[in-house]
Amino acid sequence: MPTKNSSDKELLAESNIKNLSRRNFLGYIGGASALLVTAAACKKNDDPTNNNSGVDLGSGDPGILNYAYALEQIEAAFYTKVFESPYSGISASESALLGDIRDHEIAHREFFKAALKTSAIQALELDFSSINFSSRDSVLATAKAFEDLGVSAYNGAGKLIASPAYLLLAGQIVSVEARHAAYIRDLIAPGTFADGLDVNGLDMSRSPSEVFAIAGTYVKTKLNISNLPTS
């Protein structure tokens, strides 16, 4: 399987045919092209966090790994706090499984830190002041938001990854996040493990800017995501 870069090169290197009018081509693409131009035009400056100040996540695959590292930092810190100060009325089963989730998120965070070595971003300064850790409702609603966000972030990041090995790693983590998400959702309302899918039964995916628009509430450190891959 060629990587994206090599297939692009092959694509551009290949040649040897005749001529065809541009009109002919545009005739084929027809109505779709108008939509495409609209979509592309809309895409251009849709990212309010896209500037050059703050902690630079970097570019290429290391940038995506830092992106994941940032998200895992949020999740790990959140569950660490949940476990340190359990909400009132927590059951033994909830305590055990939330402890598991904390361990998984710490493992993810520390894995990315180790894999990134000197490219790793700093430890983020987080702000959980909007969460009432003594309230089951508040904690579980936040956990649900984080887990669903994590699933959509990894799903959306897949196409941004150039290395098959890193894509596989992202896949190894996202399914665990989805297991968490389903469990937390069922704790809140039994049977809601996969609510929020589209009509095709597909889960959600989000771009880094969409993810940070949501996660930004909990992060004090200013992040620069402008160098992340966009396709």
Partner 1 sequence: MKIENIINQIESVDPEIFERLDGRRSAMKNFAKFSGRMALASLPLAFGSMLNKAYGSPTDAITDVLNFALTLEYIESEFYKAGYAAGVAGTLAIPAGAPLNAIKTIRDHEAAHVNFLKTAITSLGGMPVVYTAASFDFTAKGNFTNVFTDYGLFLAVAQTFEDTGVRAYKGQAGNLMANNDVLTAALNIHSVEARHASHIRQMRKASGALVPAGVILKPWITLNQSGIGSPAVQASYDGEEVTTQATVPIINIGGFPISASAASEAFDEALTKEQVITIVTPFFA
The residues in 166-185 that bind partner 1, with binding defined as CB under 8 A, are 167-169, 171-183
| DSSP tag of 129 | T
> Shortest gap between Cβ of 176 and partner 1 (angstroms)?
6
Find out whether 78 and 128 touch, Cβ atoms under 8 Å. yes
Contact mark string toward partner 1, 17..46, x via CB under 8 A: xxxxxx-xx--xxx-xx-xxxxxxx-x---
Region near partner 1 per CB under 8 A, out of 122-130, 131-139, 194-202, 221-229: 194-202
> Shortest gap between Cβ of 196 and partner 1 (angstroms)?
10
Chain-centre distance for alpha carbon 135: 27
What is the C-alpha separation between 199 and 39, in angstroms, rounded? 22
**Beta-bridge mates of residue 56:** 224
Residues 142-171 that bind partner 1 (CB under 8 A): 151, 154-156, 158-159, 164-165, 167-169, 171
Which residue among 16, 45, 52, 85 contacts partner 1 (CB under 8 A)? 16
Find out whether 228 and 57 touch, Cβ atoms under 8 Å. yes
Query: What percent of the chain is helix, strand and coil (3-state, nearest 5)?
Result: 65, 5, 35
**Beta-bridge mates of residue 126:** 219
Residues 78-137 that bind partner 1 (CB under 8 A): 97, 100, 103-104, 106-111, 113-115
Cβ proximity to partner 1, 59 vs 194, nearer residue = 194
Cβ proximity to partner 1, 134 vs 186, nearer residue = 186
Residues touching partner 1, count (CB under 8 A): 83
Closest C-alpha to 108, from 175, 38, 161: 175
